[in-house]
Structure 1
Amino acid sequence: MKSFEYGDSEIGYVDIVITISSMIIGVGILFLPRELAKTVQSSDGWVSILLAGLLAIGAAWMLAKVAIHFSKQGYFAYASAAVTKPIALIAIISLTLYFILYSGYEVRAIANISKQYLFERTPVEAISLTFLLVVVYAVSGSRVGIIRLNILFLPIVIAISLIVLSFSMSIFNLDDLKPFMSSDWKSMAKGIKSSAFSLLGFEVILIYITLMNQPKDAPKAVVFGVAIPVVLYTAIYIACVGVFSNFALQQITYPAVELAKEMQIPGAFFERFESIFFTIWTMTVFTTTMMAFDCSIYLLMSVFTKTKKKTWVFILSPVIYLLCMFPRNLADFDELSSYISYVGLVVGILFPILIHVAAKLRGVNSDAS
C-alpha cells in the first residue's frame, strides 16, 4: 500500500520553498513601509526592497550551498570536524541564542500589535504568555508537522494579502508615487538595510536541510522561498504609499494593518476587514515563532544529545518569555530588532560560510560528494 504523501518524515522541494517564505513573512512587513518612508523620498522604497531582496537571495543561495555539505551529519558535526569542537560549540550556541531572541521578538511584536488593534485593556504580559503557550504546544510535537502547518497557512496568508491589495486599488492615488527616483544613494542604502533585516529568516535552511529527501534542491528552493516575500513586500509597500502618501506613512505605526482598514469592498460586505487580515497575519507570525523556537531546540539537541526535546521546551519557554518582556517601550523594541538582525548576519550567515571555508581547507568529509 502506498504511504500517505504527507505522512512521512521527510520534506521535499516545495516544502522548503514554503518553509523559507513562512519564516521570512512575519511582523516585519507590518511596519517596513513606515521605516522606508522615513528614509527615502516618494515611493523609492521599492528599489531598496528589490535590491535588499537580491542580496537576501544571494546570501540564501550561498547558505543553502553550504548546508548541502552537512545535510546528513548536521551542522554541529560538520563544524566540529572543520574548526574543532570548542569553536563549533560557540557557533552552535550563538546561533541558538539568535533563534531564541528571534522567538522572543516575534512574541512581543504580536502582543504589541494585538493590544493596539484587538485587546486594548489586556496587559501585554498576558497576551504574550497566551501566544507563547500556543507556540509551546506546537513545538512539542513533530518537527515535520511544523512544516506541514506552513503548507496549510501560507496560501491563506497570501490570498488575504492579495485581496487587500486588490480592493485597495479603488483608493490608490498614482500621484503619491511621484516623483520617481528622487532619493540619494545614502537614503537608498539605509532603505536597503531596513529591508534586508525584514528578509532575514532563511537561516533555517541550516537546520531543516537535514529533513530534505533531495538536499541538492535546497539552493533553488531557498531562492524561490526568499523571492515570494520580496514580491509581496514590494506590492504592499507600493500600495501603502499610493493610499496614504509617503508623508503620512511616517506617522503610521503599522501601515499594512491600516491598509486593510482603509480598503473598500463593494456592497460593504465586510466592515472591519482589518480584523480578518490581522487574524490571518497572526498565523504567519505563529509559524515564524514556532520555527525559530524549534530551530533553537534542534541545535541544543545536536550538542546535548541525551536531553529530551520536551525538557528543552520547558527550559527555553520562560527564557523566551522573559526576553520578550525586556523592551519597556517602542524605542527599546526597535533597538532589540536591530540587535537581533546584526546577530543573525554574523552567526546565521557569516559563521557557516567561514566554517565551510575551513572545512574545504582541511578536507573535511562532505555529504554533497
Structure 2
Amino acid sequence: MSTFKYGDDKIEAREIMIAIPSMAIAIGILTFPRHLSDVTEFSDGWVSIILSGVIAMLFAWAIAKLASKYPNQSFLSYASLLVSKPVAIVLTLLFSIQGIALTAFEVRAISDISHQYLFDKTPFEVVGLCFLLVVVYAVSGSRAGVFRLNTLFFPIIFCTTVILIFFAIGYMEVDNLLPVFKTDMSGYLEGTMQSALSYTGIGILFFYISLVKNPKKTPRMAAFGMGLVVITYVIIYLTCVAVYGPATEAIRFPLVELAKEIEVPGGFFERLESVFFVIWIMAIFTTTMMAFDVTVMALNSIFPKTNKMKIIFLLSPLIYFVSTIPSNYLELGIFAELVSYSGWGLSGTVIILLWIMHKIKGGRKNEK
C-alpha cells in the first residue's frame, strides 16, 4: 500500500506564522516560569520576556526577509551565492548538527517528564524510543503534511492553554504580582537571557521559506507568529506567579503543577493535569518533528542523490543515542542550555553574515 502524497510541498505564508509558535513553544513552556522567577523579583520577569521577545521577532523578520528575497531557492542555494558554496555547505552542516541536538534534547526531555507524571513504571528509554518512532513516522511523509499537522495541533494547544488559565483565575492572588519594577538591571539582563532560551528554533525559517508559494508576506507573518509566542509566555508566566508567588522558583515544572492544582466544577475530571499534559505533548511533538525535518532537509540539500528515507533511518539511531547521554536532571539542564545558546548563536551569526554579503554583493541582482 502506497503512502498518501500531497500534490506538492508548497505552503502558504500563513503556515509560516503557525510554524513559528509550533516550533518555539516546546518543553521550555513547562519550566521557564521557574527560571525567570529565580533571577527576577516578584512578577518582573514579564519585562525580560518582552525584551527577549522583541529581539526574537526582529530576528524572525530579518531571516524571513532575507530568505524571501531568494524565492524558491534552498538555504544552500542562496547562501552559496552570498558566501561561496564551501562556506554554505559548512553552515548547512552546522544547522543539521544543531537540529540533531535539539531533536535529541526534546526526545530526552519529554521521556523524563512523561516518566515522572504519566508512565512512572515505564523506563524513560522506552518512552523516548516510542516518541522518536512517532516523530520518524511524521517526518517520513510529505513535508506539506508537517505543516498540516501544525495547523491541526496549534489551535488545540492554544485553546487548551487558554482554558487552563481561565480555570486558574480563582487561584490567583494579585498580591503575588506586587510590587513591580523591583529587579535591578543585572536581573533583567539575566532574565532576558533565560527567556531567550525559550525562543529557540527560528533557524527553521532559513529552510522553510523556500517552500512558500508567495514569500512576500512571510516576514510579517514570521514576526506575527513570534509575537503570539511572546504573548503566550507573558500570560503563562504571570499566571504561575499570581498562583504560586515566590514559590514559583522552587517548582520544577510550574505549568504542570498548575494543571494539577485546578479543579473543574462538578468533578467532571479527576486528574485534569493528564488531559493538559497530553495536549502539551502535541506542542513538544511539533517542535521535535520540525527540528528533525529541517535536519533532513539540510542534509538532503547537501546530498541530493541520497534518498530522504535513508537519511532519516541513519539519523534516528544517532538521535536516540544522543538523547541518552545526559545521566541526570542537571546534565539535561546543561544540555538544554548548550542547544539553546548554540541555536541562537548560529542563527544570529548566519543572518548577520548573509545580510552583510547580500548588501555587499548587491543581492538584488541575484534575486529571482
Q: Same fold (TM over 0.5)?
A: yes
Tell me if 1:148 matches 2:168.
no
5 Å-filtered alignment, 1:17-166, equals 17-166=17-166
Q: Quote how far apart the aligned CAs of 1:356 are.
A: 3.3
Residue of structure 2 equivalent to 1:252: 251
Residue of structure 2 equivalent to 1:280: 279
Structure 1 residues 367 and 11, CA gap change in structure 2 (3 angstroms): farther
Structure 1 residues 305 and 8, CA gap change in structure 2 (3 angstroms): closer
Q: Quote how far apart the aligned CAs of 1:348 are.
A: 2.0
* 1:111/1:124 contact within 8 Å kept: yes
Structure 1 residues 122 and 233, CA gap change in structure 2 (3 angstroms): same
Once the two structures are superposed, residues 54-105 of structure 1 have per-residue CA deviations (whole angstroms, 9 ceiling, x without a partner) of: 1111111111111113332211122222222221111110011111111111
Once the two structures are superposed, residues 305-361 of structure 1 have per-residue CA deviations (whole angstroms, 9 ceiling, x without a partner) of: 100100000011011111111111111111111111221122223213302322432
Q: 1 CA distance for matches of 2:103 and 2:337?
A: 14
The alignment's TM-score, normalised by the length of structure 2, stands at 0.95
* 1:51/1:192 contact within 8 Å kept: yes
Q: 2 CA distance for matches of 1:224 and 1:82?
A: 28
Once the two structures are superposed, residues 165-221 of structure 1 have per-residue CA deviations (whole angstroms, 9 ceiling, x without a partner) of: 001011111111111111111011111111111012122111111111111111001
* 1:73/1:367 contact within 8 Å kept: no
* 1:12/1:214 contact within 8 Å kept: yes
5 Å-filtered alignment, 1:1-369, equals 8-246=8-246, 248-363=247-362, 368=367
Secondary structure at 1:266 match in 2: coil
Q: 2 CA distance for matches of 1:60 and 1:18?
A: 13
Structure 1 residues 347 and 209, CA gap change in structure 2 (3 angstroms): same
Q: Which moved more, 1:295-304 or 1:333-342?
A: 333-342
Q: How many residues align?
A: 363
Q: Quote how far apart the aligned CAs of 1:7 are.
A: 5.8
For 2:277, give the aligned amino acid.
Answer: F
Structure 1 residues 29 and 367, CA gap change in structure 2 (3 angstroms): farther
Structure 1 gaps of 5+ residues are 1-5
Q: 1 CA distance for matches of 2:286 and 2:338?
A: 22
Identical aligned residues as a percent: 42
Structure 1 residues 7 and 267, CA gap change in structure 2 (3 angstroms): farther
Provide the alpha-carbon RMSD of the alignment.
1.4
Q: 1 CA distance for matches of 2:105 and 2:163?
A: 28
Structure 1 residues 306 and 36, CA gap change in structure 2 (3 angstroms): same
The alignment's TM-score, normalised by the length of structure 1, stands at 0.95
Q: Quote how far apart the aligned CAs of 1:273 are.
A: 0.8
For 1:101, give the aligned amino acid.
Answer: A
Q: 1 CA distance for matches of 2:44 and 2:355?
A: 37
Structure 2 gaps of 5+ residues are 1-5
For 1:90, give the aligned amino acid.
Answer: V
Structure 1 outlier segments of 4+, above 6 Å: none
For 2:129, give the aligned amino acid.
Answer: L
For 1:167, give the aligned amino acid.
Answer: F
Q: Which moved more, 1:349-358 or 1:184-193?
A: 349-358
